[in-house]
Structure 1
Amino acid sequence: MSEIDEFPAGVAEKIGNYVYRLIDPRNGETFYVGKGTGNRVFAHSNANLSNLTSDEDDRTSLKLSRITEIKNAGLRVLNVIHRHDIPDAAIFEVEAALIDAFTGLTNIQGGHASGAKGPMNVVEIVDKYALPSIDEEPSEKLVLININRLEDKSDVRSIYEQTRLAWRISKRKAEAADYVLAVVKGVIVGAFVAREWRDATHANFPDHVPLDREMPERKGFIGENAPDEVWKKFVGDRGKRISIDGMKHIQFPIRYWNI
């Protein structure tokens, strides 16, 4: 097949909204899933920074690092248009479903509503819809962090360690919060008091952040379990479902409430 760097005239209009995958030709691994129109897929696969939006113009991102490695090896990124002519109302759901289907992606953000509607086993589905819920709007100032990786809800220490770092978060808002809540698949599984927020560096978190993986632009906290009455209110015995729209995670792992 000849190399194509843009769609011929008229093709982009016919395919409309589409969802695509970028594939590493060295191992056949899908490393990025995206949505777009026009020649968006080529702007990404060729790492054409002039065609990327400002929030993606980041040469340090995992995606662009992977693309650079491929190009330096004298190869081209492979791409697949996974589904095209997608209605506007469905594009986010189609992209999210595809992101959920592949592990190890370089996408900075998860799929739309993946935390609330993404892959779950049957126990998680039952918990999500059968557990007691938070129905009344809390008066507390909260940071809700979607950790999305949890094997044992009873392991409070593990929940704390996964919740406390490292996040792209507003330090000002985080420091204003009364409590930090850990959320998995739309269920609150932990409540903590953050005594201090710090940059995610080795000096601040020597047991968790190696010197060669420091992330000073991200933050973590030093804290402890919330008081029993707070834990009971937000977590209960096995977790509580979030039924208030303003507290639900949509796409980003961080959600603020009353801040």
Structure 2
Amino acid sequence: MQMQVTQFPAGLHEKLSYYVYVYVDTSDDDDRVLYVGKGKGNRCFAHLNQVNDTDKSTEINRLQAEGRLRIDILIHGVDEKTALQVEAAAIDLLRLERLYNQKRGDDSREFGRISTDDLVAKLQPRIVLGAPDFQDDCILIRLRQRYYSGMPAQALYDSTRGVWRVSRESADQVSLALAVHEGIVREVYRIAGWFTAGSTLYATQDLHGPVDRGSPRMEFVGRVADEPERQRYLHADVSRCFRPGAQNPVTYIGPSFPKPEVER
């Protein structure tokens, strides 16, 4: 059935204020959500008029022509900040990879979907560690965009172990690798060995894209550390171990390494 409303009456805009909307494929009984957005005025209808070669535009135009497209408003009458938070939560709940959205919601980094373990670690870290507090020689690896809360253990391991531009001399001294995101340790691995990038198998396919076998980058293999080692560092705040503004995702910390003061 073709949508009847393709713009809001002018008098409705003020009542709507900011809102969050979804594009829905009504082809079957499960009503699949295609896209999540936020806006005001007639923003939710803007995608109907787009003519380009993107997958999103092609699918929306097809479904609209076939009368199998619906636009739902998830929430309305809210301020922009609230709309951003609801949009972020909806995208995280539905999973970005299943939508035509190109990125997570603008507020996902701060307020998006997160496990209770990660939420407590983020808002109230179990312990704050500086370089002098490390009992083991460790390599700290910041995952940045590779990490998301609740990711499978295998994906987290594969994201952490490669591929990195490391000092082979320093890497050979470390026994533990710490997966770090937003300054918090998300997992601890005992390293078995370092290898040339692309020379070992990953269970998570296409995680790092094609890797040049001639690259100077390295990857490690290992396993989750034993509990005594793991509990020394898991969910600890190690942000002070990275210099402000430092871009290198890797740093070495432990008894065998210098202990720079990186207080904030």
For the criterion TM > 0.5, the same-fold answer is: yes
CA distance in structure 2 between the partners assigned to 1:47 and 1:164 by the alignment: 45
Q: Which residue of 2 aligns with 1:144?
A: 144
Q: Which residue of 2 aligns with 1:79?
A: 71
CA distance in structure 2 between the partners assigned to 1:181 and 1:145 by the alignment: 16
The answer to whether residue 55 in structure 2 is matched with residue 66 in structure 1 is no
The sequence identity of aligned pairs, in percent, is: 25
CA distance in structure 2 between the partners assigned to 1:117 and 1:94 by the alignment: 9
Q: Which residue of 2 aligns with 1:258?
A: 247
Which SS does the other structure have where 1:35 is aligned? strand
Distance verdict in 2 for CA 1:241–1:146, change over 3 Å? farther
Q: Which residue of 2 aligns with 1:119?
A: 113
8 Å Cα contact 1:19-1:83 kept in structure 2: yes
Kindly provide the CA deviation profile for residues 131-174 of structure 1, in whole angstroms up to 9, marking residues without a partner as x.
Answer: 334679xxx9966234214344xxxx642424589xxxxxxxx9
TM-score computed with the length of structure 1 as normaliser: 0.55
Q: Which residue of 2 aligns with 1:208?
A: 205
Superposition deviation, residue 70 in structure 1: 2.1
2:26 counterpart letter in structure 1: P
Q: Which residue of 2 aligns with 1:92?
A: 84
Which SS does the other structure have where 1:19 is aligned? strand
2:46 counterpart letter in structure 1: A
Aligned pair partner of 2:94 in 102, 106, 112: 102
8 Å Cα contact 2:188-2:234 kept in structure 1: no
Superposition deviation, residue 25 in structure 1: 1.0
Aligned pair partner of 1:159 in 156, 159, 162: 156
Aligned pair partner of 2:32 in 25, 29, 40: 29
Which SS does the other structure have where 2:23 is aligned? strand
Which SS does the other structure have where 1:240 is aligned? coil
CA distance in structure 2 between the partners assigned to 1:242 and 1:32 by the alignment: 37
Kindly provide the CA deviation profile for residues 200-232 of structure 1, in whole angstroms up to 9, marking residues without a partner as x.
Answer: xxxxx9x834xxxxx88xxxx86337xxxxxxx
Q: Which residue of 1 aligns with 2:45?
A: 42
RMSD between aligned residues:
4.9
Kindly provide the CA deviation profile for residues 24-63 of structure 1, in whole angstroms up to 9, marking residues without a partner as x.
Answer: 111312221110122111112x2524xxxxxxx7614xx3
Q: Which residue of 2 aligns with 1:201?
A: none
8 Å Cα contact 1:25-1:77 kept in structure 2: yes
CA distance in structure 2 between the partners assigned to 1:68 and 1:182 by the alignment: 43
Q: Which residue of 2 aligns with 1:6?
A: 7
CA distance in structure 1 between the partners assigned to 2:165 and 2:74 by the alignment: 42
Distance verdict in 2 for CA 1:188–1:77, change over 3 Å? farther
Q: Which residue of 2 aligns with 1:169?
A: none
Which SS does the other structure have where 2:145 is aligned? strand
Structure ID, larger Rg: 2
Gaps of 5+ in 2: 132-139, 172-176, 211-216, 222-230, 249-264
Aligned length: 204
Q: 112-121 vs 235-244, which deviates more?
A: 235-244
8 Å Cα contact 2:143-2:159 kept in structure 1: no
Gaps of 5+ in 1: 50-56, 166-173, 198-204, 210-214, 226-234, 248-255
8 Å Cα contact 1:22-1:80 kept in structure 2: yes
Distance verdict in 2 for CA 1:37–1:146, change over 3 Å? same
Which SS does the other structure have where 1:85 is aligned? strand
Distance verdict in 2 for CA 1:71–1:90, change over 3 Å? closer
Which SS does the other structure have where 1:99 is aligned? helix
